[in-house]
Amino acid sequence: GHVASLDDFVRLVLRMDYGTGHLVAGGSEHHGGAPPERVWAMLTSFTPLQAVLVLAGAWRAYLTERWFFWWSLLAFVATAPAFAVYANLELTLEVARWVFERFSLLPHVLVAPLAAFGLLQLAALAARILTPARRADALAGVAVATVLGVVAGILLNYGRIDQSSNQVARQFVEDILETVEPNGVLVASGDHVVFPAGYLQAVEDKRPDVVLIMAPLLRGSWYVRHLQSRHPGLVIPFDHHEPSLP
């Protein structure tokens, strides 16, 4: 809301108001650690099988779809090693590692097509080994093995990762909202509060009378303008909040 100028946009993208060079705004105890350790943590989030498929796929993409290879490489560098360096998190802290792992998903998604290229490359290698009469079976064999692997992964892991019945975030934020007086203001910080609260208000229309303020964003003048536009009766005695102010 109310990113009204190029300066607003640049400051938002670079997080200049609340944490450029820090994945977690505030809380200097979370900052630090060696960049190589974060890069290694990001890279080792890939399994050996993923690494083999991605590397094989990258080679095939380089040979057949070079534009896709370079774009995939650029995207991976930006979201894995470069991001790991930028994050500036002390991974020996459990909370910091938890935050970091959430962002480790993006490079996995970006290189997934390369893994598919890798399967094609394995099929091509198998076809070279097989007799001409059996080469047509190579691709089918790889496809069947891939489907079986996906099904096996789902069966083995779904019960462990299924969170459909986990209502902790909802109940936690519902309890918080219940403590707010009618037409009150809730100043909140932390993803575990602002995201569930924002969802309940925007999607399920729960406690629409409550003004939700995301405290870290108050450092940006665009966010103050956004609040004033949505809630004309809300009095904010500054155009942006300086951390040094009370």
What are 73-88's pLDDT values in tens digits? 999 999 999 999 888 8
Q: Helix axis angle, 105-129 relative to 135-161, nearest 10°?
A: 150
Q: Measuring CA to CA, which residue among 135, 205, 195, 202 is closest to residue 170? A: 195
Residues of the chain with pLDDT under 50: 245-246
pLDDT at 1 (0 to 100):
65
pLDDT at 244 (0 to 100):
60
With 0-12 / 13-18 / 19 or more C-beta atoms within 10 angstroms meaning exposed / middle / buried, residue 129 is exposed
The Cα 232–Cα 235 span in angstroms is 8
Task: Give Cβ neighbours of residue 169 (< 8 Å, ≥ 6 apart).
Answer: 192, 196
Enter the pTM of the model. Answer: 0.74
Rounded to 10 degrees, what is the CA torsion of 76, 78, 83, 84?
Answer: 50
